[in-house]
Amino acid sequence: MALRELSSLEKYLGLKKPNKYSTQGEKKVPVLQKANAPPLVGLVTVACHLAKEAKRPELLGDSAESRALVQQWLEYRVTKLDGCTREDAKTVLKDLNLYLQDKVYMAGNQFTLADTFMFYGIHPLIVDFAVQEKEQYVNVTRWFDHIQHYPGIRHPLPPVVVLRNKIYSSKHY
């Protein structure tokens, strides 16, 4: 999955020549081996490198604060979200829903790598959601819908239908 994400990112960044990746260990950690350079190991490390290579440093945050936030969410993605059980996912989504209540993007008002990778990480959960669950995590769903329509991000993942109207409005339902 990590490799697919990196190739999606490359496409988004408009990198002409796709890199070749290998994997390492049981968890299939991606490795990027460039000529005349030490290998880069790990999804987040490689992703940050690609952003710099494409001369898109703003994707890593354009202020000290947002840079910190981006790193925090990238870390959250690989430590909390990856490999979490269905029960854990509920807690994650609940927290995330609260966090996104007053935000457009993960790191505030700017689209960053944090949005990309949280999107890839959450996609498999949301795709299985019933309409009612999507409404339950309404802020996550709003953010998700926005990112999946962000130019060049979603491909090749299937689109998820998100209703604009609340249909489970009553608390007694």
Partner 1 sequence: MTKEEAPGATEEEQQAQSKKGLKKQQKEAEKAAKKAEKQAKLAADQQSTEEDDFAKDRYGVSAMVQSQHKLDRVLVRVQDLTPAKADQLIWLRARVHTSRAKGKQCFLVLRQQQFNLQALVAVGDRASKQMVKFAANITKESIVDVEAFVRTVEQKIESCSQQDVELHIERIFVVSQAEPRLPLQLEDAARPDGEGEEEGRATVNQDTKLDNRVIDLRTTTSQAIFRLQSGVCQLFRDTLTEKGFVEIQTPKIISAASEGGANVFTVSYFKTSAYLAQSPQLYKQMCICGDFDKVFCVGPVFRAEDSNTHRHLTEFVGLDIEMSFNYHYHEVIDSITDTMVQIFKGLRDNFQTEIQTVNKQFPSEPFKFLEPTLRLEYTEAVAMLHEAGVEMGDEEDLSTPNEKLLGRLVKEKYDTDFYVLDKYPLAVRPFYTMPDPNNPKYSNSYDMFMRGEEILSGAQRVHDAQLLTDRAKHHQIDLEKIKAYIDSFRYGAPPHGGGGIGLERVCMLYLGLHNIRQTSMFPRDPKRLTP
Residues that bind partner 1 (CB under 8 A): 130-132, 160-163, 165-168, 170, 172-173
The H or E element that residue 147 is part of is: helix 138-148
Q: Please report how close the Cβ of residue 103 comes to partner 1 at its closest, in angstroms.
A: 25
Cβ closest to partner 1, residue 83 vs residue 173: 173
At residue 35's C-alpha, the angle toward residues 34 and 41, to 5°, is 25
Cβ closest to partner 1, residue 107 vs residue 122: 122
Q: Please report how close the Cβ of residue 130 comes to partner 1 at its closest, in angstroms.
A: 7
Q: Please report how close the Cβ of residue 149 comes to partner 1 at its closest, in angstroms.
A: 15
Cβ closest to partner 1, residue 27 vs residue 171: 171
146: Cα separation from own chain's centroid: 12
Number of Cβ within a 10 Å radius of residue 42: 15
Q: Please report how close the Cβ of residue 137 comes to partner 1 at its closest, in angstroms.
A: 15
